[in-house]
A and B are shown apart, each in its own frame.
Chain A
Amino acid sequence: MTTDPNLDSPRTAVSNPPIQPMPVNLGPGDVVRASAMPDLPAPTRELTPVAKLIDVSKCIGCKACQSACAEWNDTHPEIGFNTGSYQNPADLSDQMFTLMRFNEYENPETGDFEWLIRKDGCMHCEDPGCLKACPAPGAIVQYSNGIVDFISDNCIGCGYCVTGCPFDIPRISPTQHVSKKCTLCSDRVAVGQGPACAKACPTQAIVFGTKEDMVTHANARVEDLKSRGYDKAGIYDPQGVGGTHVFYVLQHADKPQLYSNLPADPKISGVVESWKGVTKTVGLAAIGLAAVGSVLHGLLSRGNRVTAEDDREAKELVEPSLPAQDKEA
């Protein structure tokens, strides 16, 4: 981790972070995108993109990251049940932003058994579907270093981000009614500390730094894996969402689904795109035209008025049925 004030972003979480206090280094001026804020002012500076690299081949599934995440974010995951798996809690929740997913795999090519353990959590997409879907201004922001953060104060708990996310990440708190997910420890990164999970990871399966450094590191890891017979080892940095700021080294990069259904080619769903795109423009235009048109027409036209003739006809029609005393009147 850098302590050099000239560097805007931390370089690595491998070495120890600074112990002297540092001013907060992520502010409103660093926001490049915010949900439901089409007219966001341009950021005041451009930070170096950061990334958290998760090397699945180094992960021992110890869940230190899970507990560090809960500790740092002061969440209170519930004590559930064993469902016949090491995966606990059974799923991500508003109290558990990251989760080790365990999958058993009999490799047909080598005849070897493999236990593929993947740390699940927000990928911090370059093109975040959650942000696209969100209706509340500023509830989801993206900083120029790539971190996608949920700002609970602005969140209304509608759950649109859940539908927007291609990775099934956000979870809505059933008590606070706000959406929760991994923040990439933006509050730590802002003061020069790496993510809590990376700090806790005993094997450095999680490392954090600039995206560039992390890609270099990842490439070296891929080489190591190839030398161990994993011919298809590679980086998972899906371009369908513009790349991600949390990315993986996989032994079987050709089959991401092996890792507890990591999507092979994630992108924002077409349904979401058309909901947030054409539906909105066409819908708003139609409603606007209809409303304005009818008001204008209402003002200009005379309307369909009842004539005196109509009144007479009506009277004639009902006359015979007039009670006797009224007929003369």
Chain B
Amino acid sequence: MSKRYYSQPGDRIKEFNPVVVSRYRGFTRANHWLTAFSLIALLLSGMALFSPYLYFLTGLFGGGQTTRWLHPFLGVLLFFSFLVLFLQLWRLNLPKPEDVTWVEKIGDVVKGDEEKLPELGKYNAGQKFVFWAMSGLIVALVVSGVMIWQQYFPDLVSIPARRWAVLAHSLAAVAIILVFILHVYAAIWTRGTISAMTRGTVTGGWAWRHHRKWLRELAGRERRDPAE
């Protein structure tokens, strides 16, 4: 079996006519949606505390007290859930030389003019940005979140440190929400992407259009390793 450079175990051509490519295993998808769920719950519960205008959101969780109680646990859930996701995905999110070109041609990305872009592996630079931004911000949120976690760590840090932590937490929360919006928007804008995380597969055309190197590697692997 040849080495994988642009794909990971489980990625394979699933059907040939029409071409259907497996992009995420069931476990990864479940992992992703747990992560997504916790972040959304965090977002809602956090935003409830963020602004008086959004305090009504506490209603979703059964009131202010439960919201306050739940939010950090969701944060912890998010952290571990994302950690598992991270361990699966980090390697393919490492930057590659072609990412530079991709970023330089961001105008063509936005126009959807993919032919002018370099061929890509499983992820483009945008996705990698989301990945690393999420990773970094989640760490920041966990750390700052624990520092302000009144119920369990009331005396963990001094009050001045706590002031900085809550400021950092809010800023990180704002940032991660922006990243989140970007991520979801990109997933929707790039039609055909959602199925990667729902059914686990993408169409051959999608793979050809957006992640050609990834597709080539999978196709190559099929050739060298006939099914029989």
Contacts and interface: CB of A to CB of B under 8 A. Distances in A.
A56 interface: no
A159 interface: yes
A42 interface: no
B17 A315 contact: yes
Given A156-B65, A269-B160, A306 B19 contact: no
A326 to B, nearest CB: 6
A314 interface: yes
A287 B181 CA distance: 8
The prevalent SS among residues of A at the interface is: helix
Interface string B61-73: 0011101110000
B204 A318 contact: yes
Contacts of B227: 323
A304 B223 contact: no
A136 interface: yes
Contacts of A241: none
A287 B50 CA distance: 12
Interface residues of A, number: 59
A317 B209 contact: no
A286 interface: yes
A272 B208 contact: no
A255 to B, nearest CB: 22
Contacts of B215: 314, 317-318
Nearest to B178: A290
B7 to A, nearest CB: 13
A321 interface: yes
A301 interface: yes
Interface string A149-173: 0000011111110110000100010
A159 B148 contact: yes
Contact of B174 (A272, A279, A323): A279
Interface string A269-282: 10110110001101
A156 B62 CA distance: 12
Interface residues of B, number: 64
Contact of B191 (A160, A304, A311, A322): A304
B216 interface: yes
B95 interface: no
Contact of B222 (A36, A136, A315, A318): A318
B205 to A, nearest CB: 3
A317 B148 contact: no
A137 interface: yes
A310 B160 CA distance: 57
A150 B158 CA distance: 23
Contact of A136 (B55, B177, B178, B209): B55
A269 to B, nearest CB: 5
Contacts of A329: 17
Nearest to B154: A172
B167 A157 contact: no
B55 A317 contact: no
By Cβ-Cβ distance, the 4 closest A-B pairs, closest first, are A314-B204, A159-B150, A321-B222, A311-B205
Interface of B: 13, 16-19, 48-53, 55, 58, 63-65, 67-69, 112, 114, 148, 150-151, 154, 159-160, 162-164, 166-167, 170-171, 173-174, 177-178, 181-182, 184-185, 188-192, 203-209, 215-216, 218-220, 222-223, 226-228
Given A36-B52, A156-B49, A283-B171, 11 more contacts: A162-B162, A279-B171, A287-B174, A287-B177, A303-B190, A304-B112, A304-B189, A304-B190, A309-B205, A315-B16, A326-B16
